[in-house]
Chain A
Amino acid sequence: MSLSMPRSLTLFMLVVGCGWILWQIQRTKSGGPLPKIRKIAAIEAIPEVIGRAVEMGRPVHFTSGVGKIDDEFAPQTIAATEILSHISKLCADYDAEIVTTVAPALVLPIQEDAMRAGYTMAGKPENFSPDQIRFASETQMAYASAAVGFITREKAAANIMIGAFYGETMLIAEAGVHAGAVQIMGTVRMYQLMFMAVVADYLLIGEEMFAAGAYIAQDRVRLGAVKGQDHIKVALIAILVVAFLGAVAGNTLILDLLKKYGN
């Protein structure tokens, strides 16, 4: 059994980081001060966007992209599923039609459950139909064409794309633009974030996707986790600043350590 140096450093940082987050969750759960989360415009806009869809008599379209639940994009897919549950609840409240297009088959039962949970939370489980969630294909462009087809044919009033997206982003987003849909988007993938920035009306950038769950639920566990992750971020920024100042002053010890074991 072996543990190489880069991995041991990663393990150490992971254990310390996770320990700190758990401590913050515990503190917040046991009545500690709650962090104040700034307004997230994309989440604030959801009720208004759904209301607009009801007034127009058109559906809301949601998709979480090609990210699966068993790959490196799982955190994004889970964050998107959490937001989908919230959107489904609001759609049930407002009697708006919501349709979800799914690419990875493994995500289908999970997001179907999330939608059903949303309708149940709104007290209208009977209004949910499994036909509201549509598996298209695991092939990227076949999935994109299904999403584009739905948005174009049904003239979706809102197009919500939150999750891990690849090259299909612009295809689906432009269909939304041509259908006159209000677009709420979010991803962590840098290559798609720049495209989303020019086509989205509201955008969740990077970590905002993960904070959205806490922002929506406002429960102590999630808020405590956000507090803990913010502390870690500050610590990481501090390490970078110290490394930078050290390098300027001619001491590259921290910088060298980061370069050697940072991957």
Chain B
Amino acid sequence: MQSKQVPVIVVFCIATLMLLDYFFPGSPLKPAAAEVLRWSLILSAVAMTLGAVNLVRINAKKILRRQHDWYNSVLMFVGLALFTAVGVYGGGPNYPLYARMFQTILASFSQAFWGVVLFFIVSAAYRGFVVRNWQATIILVSAIVIMLGQVPVGDVLIPGVGKVAVWLRDVPNLAGQRGIIIGAAVGAITQQLRVMLGLERAQFGG
């Protein structure tokens, strides 16, 4: 048996097991399916170790070679060591100091980053709404109608704009979205069928 056939057989067996478990919820395969899900958690933990090795290797090289902005890598190591030490010492993420560090450092930075998204959406919208062709004109007009429909003053300025906005959102917009979703769902099923039968090998390195 060729080495590339082994993962294909494993994928086929596990996919069949999970499908049977989904379609026959009361079947005796339930414990086996639950066990496979537990394995996936273990695999995720192993993959996280690979990720940590990758992170350490790349950042260590950056520091040793004094590459551009190498001091950011030093900060990464300080953060990694600090969180690991406190997490291991406290016995997990529920340790008060660890939770406090998470809230005050990581959560704060994340929230700040989320805040920036608003400004990026505005600048992207500005570029997107520049009238270059008839398609961009449709986007611009639709956007103006939707925006006016969302604010109370819209109906005062242009009576009925709220109803037009709701129609735009619920009819042409939703129809387009559903068309894309149906196509994508059929595409995803086809791809997973190819994966299951070993006709698709991208996930095994091409």
- Interface residues of A, Cβ cutoff 8 Å to B: 1-4, 7-8, 10-11, 14, 17-18, 21-22, 25, 69-70, 74-76, 78-79, 81-82, 85, 102, 104-106, 108-110, 113-114, 116-118, 120-121, 130-131, 133-136, 138-142, 144-145, 149, 153, 167, 170-171, 173-174, 177, 188, 190, 193, 195, 197-199, 205-207, 209-211, 213, 221-222, 225-226, 228-229, 232-233, 236-237
Contact yes or no, A221 B124, CB < 8 A:
no
Q: What are the residues of chain A within 8 A of B181 when measuring CB–CB?
A: 188, 190, 206
**Chain B, 78-112, contact with A by CB distance < 8 Å: what is the 0/1 string?**
00000000000000000000000000001001100
**Chain B, 195-206, contact with A by CB distance < 8 Å: what is the 0/1 string?**
101011011111
Known: A70-B40, A190-B181. A78 touches B186 (CB 8 A): no
- Interface residues of B, Cβ cutoff 8 Å to A: 22-28, 40, 43-44, 47-48, 50-52, 54-55, 57-58, 61, 68-69, 72, 106, 109-110, 113-114, 116-117, 120-121, 123-125, 127-128, 177, 180-184, 186-195, 197, 199-200, 202-206
Known: A171-B120, A198-B128, A206-B187. A85 touches B202 (CB 8 A): yes
Contact yes or no, A139 B206, CB < 8 A:
no
Q: What are the residues of chain B within 8 A of A171 when measuring CB–CB?
A: 113, 116-117, 120
Partner of B189, one of A14, A79, A121, A188: A14
Q: What are the residues of chain B within 8 A of A138 when measuring CB–CB?
A: 48, 51
Q: What are the residues of chain A within 8 A of B68 when measuring CB–CB?
A: 153
Closest CB of chain A to B25's CB: distance in Å?
7
Partner of B184, one of A10, A145, A188: A188
Contact yes or no, B190 A78, CB < 8 A:
no
Known: A153-B68, A167-B117, A198-B127. A233 touches B199 (CB 8 A): no
Known: A106-B44, A195-B121. A206 touches B193 (CB 8 A): no
Residue on B with the closest CB to A14?
A: B189
A–B pairs, 15, beta carbons within 8 Å: A1-B27, A2-B25, A14-B189, A70-B40, A78-B203, A79-B191, A106-B47, A110-B203, A131-B61, A171-B117, A177-B127, A207-B186, A222-B199, A226-B190, A229-B190
Q: How far is the CA of A190 from the CA of B184 in the complex (A)?
A: 11
Instruction: Name which of A70, A121, A173 has the most chain B CB atoms within 10 A of its CB.
Output: A70
Q: How far is the CA of A131 from the CA of B65 in the complex (A)?
A: 14
Contact yes or no, A207 B106, CB < 8 A:
no
Closest CB of chain A to B184's CB: distance in Å?
4
Known: A114-B205, A193-B180. 12 other contacts (CB 8 A): A1-B27, A1-B28, A69-B203, A85-B202, A109-B47, A114-B202, A130-B54, A135-B51, A188-B181, A207-B186, A222-B194, A229-B190
